[in-house]
Chain A
Amino acid sequence: MNPGKILLVEDNPDDVTLTLRALKSHNITNEVMVAQDGVEAIDYLFGNKDRPAPSELPAVVLLDLKLPRVNGMEVLQRIRSEERTKLLPVVILTSSDEERDVVDGYSLGANSYVRKPVDFVEFTKAAQQLGLYWLLMNRAPPAPRGP
């Protein structure tokens, strides 16, 4: 299994708890970094004046769309526009199944689009499959050179 971290960009603490639980219940033990909005996500990935960017990128980003301050689409746009992160796997994990969002997400270069089911059993299944796929099945792009 890919030992990399997972970056979870999610503003709803309930969803954070449930997502972490769902991942854990399927023995996905990778470290999960939580960003509570778009700004935090960008700061984590690219660093800011207080903190440098991490030397190692996460294995996958689970990205909610509706976020305070900077929304998910903007985060995705930023990720794709930077040389260092343009190949970073990004999975949109959101409540919306608006066609518009799906189309926009893929247009901006999302690798997957998953709608969070209300049924928690279904949700854990989805989280398990996501983890299995992105951490086990999927061959990650070669690690970029340091920042």
Chain B
Amino acid sequence: MSIRDWPIKRKLTAILLLISGLVLLLTSAAFVTYQIVTFRQTMRNNLATRARILAANSTAALAFANEADAREILAALKYDPHMLSAALYDQDGRVLATYPAAAPAGLIPAAPEPDGYRFEGARLVAFTAVAQGENQRLGTLFIASDTKAVADALRLSGLIAIVVLGIALLAAYALAAALQGRISAPILALAETATAASTRQDYSVRAPKFGEDELGMLTDAFNQMLGRIEEQKKELQQHAKILEQRVAERTGELEKRAAELQAANGELDAFAYSVSHDLRAPLRSIDGFSQVLLEDYAAQLGDAGRDSLQRVRAASQRMATLIDDLLKLARVTRAEMRTEQIDLSGMAREVVAEIERTTTGERQVEFVIAPGLEAQGDSRLLRVVLDNLLRNGWKYTGKRAQPRVEFTAQDENGDRVFVIKDNGAGFDMRYADKLFGVFQRLHSAAEFEGTGVGLATVRRIINRHGGRIWAEGVVDQGATFYFTL
């Protein structure tokens, strides 16, 4: 686990321990250093005093070059176990006496060195003048002591430092463990509360406050935030409840309407069915028996009679067409919609091919269909739309030298608008609102045949797709139909 992921408690304890350890270490180092420095100072002073006393005692021996005396004076050093070696040099730097009496060569320098004190490895050496009175130098005293005392003192103070460090660290750990809680406890409590609020979605919990410090302020702010969230949640729940209620009410209303509509649709169904059956039957009789008369009594009827009967037959057939168109319109309203992606360009091309086949090339009309036109819708119903509009284009360009019908699309305010435009008979914009009414016609049957149901059917289909349809026209200059889906 990286330090970053340590729990905050451990982090705080570690920081406190690190700081106190560092401080203690530095303090101990200073203490030990001070100990060493002062001890060496004391040792030097002691050695200097001893050297001076020894030098003072040695003046006579040196003055008379009495080796035996000199050796005896030096031999007194044996009472100090720290004294390693000593020597007396005469004025010419020759060794007069040494301590111990038979000192090995390495222990005593061959010649005196300048006066002074210095540490050499594990010993402290001193050279001191042996003088009579103030300024008559008789020779030099060399004395060396070991530094075991320093080492002992160092060891002791080091031991003390380590023990103190250990105790202090333990105490620091205990204190840190006890005190870190002051900081970590509120943070942990906050974290716990936040987790509880977010996992259980329970915004009624509150973090406990431990004091008026920044953490206390944070806790207050957090609790206030929780309070506001709780309030908002309550409000939201209330709103949701109201909304649900409304949805339920509306659904109920809608269901009622749907049931009514279904009933109405059922009635319409029955109506359409009887229309299809019962209205056509008498027409068949009218047409049939007129034909019987024409066939069996042609001679008796005369031209006028035959003409009348032909008119009766034409009228009955026209009424049959009207009934069929009305039925188609009713079916468009009832048919179930199956929405899918539709290639309108391809569909338009098929419709045009069918128009050209059924009209057996009696006229040439130029159809221009933009490629790649697509829409979402019911393919059967949209085919009826394209069939009606393109067939209208074909029909109403009947008196043009160069008849032309275009199917394109354009984008208006983010809506896809499909456009079918012809250069045919057009219409007067004053009657534009009548275009889409059932049985409404802007041209006489003699001029252009039709029942006046086609555009009503088209509008109903477009409306069922949630779209709009409108038209623009100028008499004798063509008509343009726009629709959205």
Chain A, interface size: which category? Answer: 20 to 34
> Does more than half of chain B's interface fall in helix, strand or loop, or is it mixed?
helix
| Cβ contacts A91-103/B at 8 Å (1 or 0 each) | 0001111100000
B276 touches A120 (CB 8 A): no
Q: How many Å lie between the Cα of A120 and that of B284 in the bound state?
A: 7
Q: Is the CB of B470 closer than 8 A to any CB of chain A?
A: no
B273 touches A118 (CB 8 A): no
Q: A116-B280, A120-B290 are in contact. List 6 more A-B contacts (CB 8 A).
A: A12-B285, A14-B282, A18-B292, A21-B292, A98-B272, A120-B284
Q: Which chain A positions have C-beta within 8 A of B281? A: 12, 14-15, 95
Q: How many Å lie between the Cα of A117 and that of B291 in the bound state?
A: 14
B287 touches A119 (CB 8 A): yes
Partner of B276, one of A14, A17, A97: A97
Chain A, residue nearest B335 (CB): A99
Q: How many Å lie between the Cα of A6 and that of B436 in the bound state?
A: 48
Within 8 A of B (CB), among A108-139: 116-121, 123
Q: Which chain A positions have C-beta within 8 A of B313? A: 119-120
Partner of B280, one of A17, A65, A118: A118
Within 8 A of A (CB), among B265-303: 272-273, 276-278, 280-285, 287-292
Q: How many Å lie between the Cα of A121 and that of B291 in the bound state?
A: 8
Among B272, B276, B284, B320, max chain A CB count under 10 A is at: B284
A66 touches B277 (CB 8 A): yes
B276 touches A118 (CB 8 A): no
Q: Which chain B positions have C-beta within 8 A of A18? A: 284-285, 288-289, 292
Interface residues of A (CB under 8 A from B): 12, 14-15, 17-18, 21, 65-66, 94-98, 116-121, 123
Q: How many Å lie between the Cα of A65 and that of B274 in the bound state?
A: 12
Q: How many Å lie between the Cα of A98 and that of B273 in the bound state?
A: 8
- The count of residues in chain B whose C-beta lies closer than 8 Å to any C-beta of chain A is 21
Q: Which chain B positions have C-beta within 8 A of A12? A: 281, 285
Given contacts A118-B316, A118-B317, contact A95 B277 (CB under 8 A): yes
- The 11 listed contacts between A and B (C-beta, < 8 Å) are A14-B284, A14-B285, A14-B289, A15-B281, A18-B285, A18-B288, A66-B277, A94-B277, A120-B288, A120-B291, A121-B291
Q: How many Å lie between the Cα of A15 and that of B281 in the bound state?
A: 8
Nearest Cβ on chain B to A11's Cβ, whole angstroms: 10
Q: Which chain B positions have C-beta within 8 A of A116? A: 280, 284
Among B272, B276, B288, max chain A CB count under 10 A is at: B288
B276 touches A98 (CB 8 A): yes
Given contacts A66-B277, A98-B273, contact A118 B283 (CB under 8 A): yes
Q: How many Å lie between the Cα of A18 and that of B290 in the bound state?
A: 11
Q: How many Å lie between the Cα of A123 and that of B316 in the bound state?
A: 14
Partner of B285, one of A15, A65, A119: A15
Nearest Cβ on chain B to A21's Cβ, whole angstroms: 7
Chain A, residue nearest B321 (CB): A118
Q: How many Å lie between the Cα of A17 and that of B292 in the bound state?
A: 10
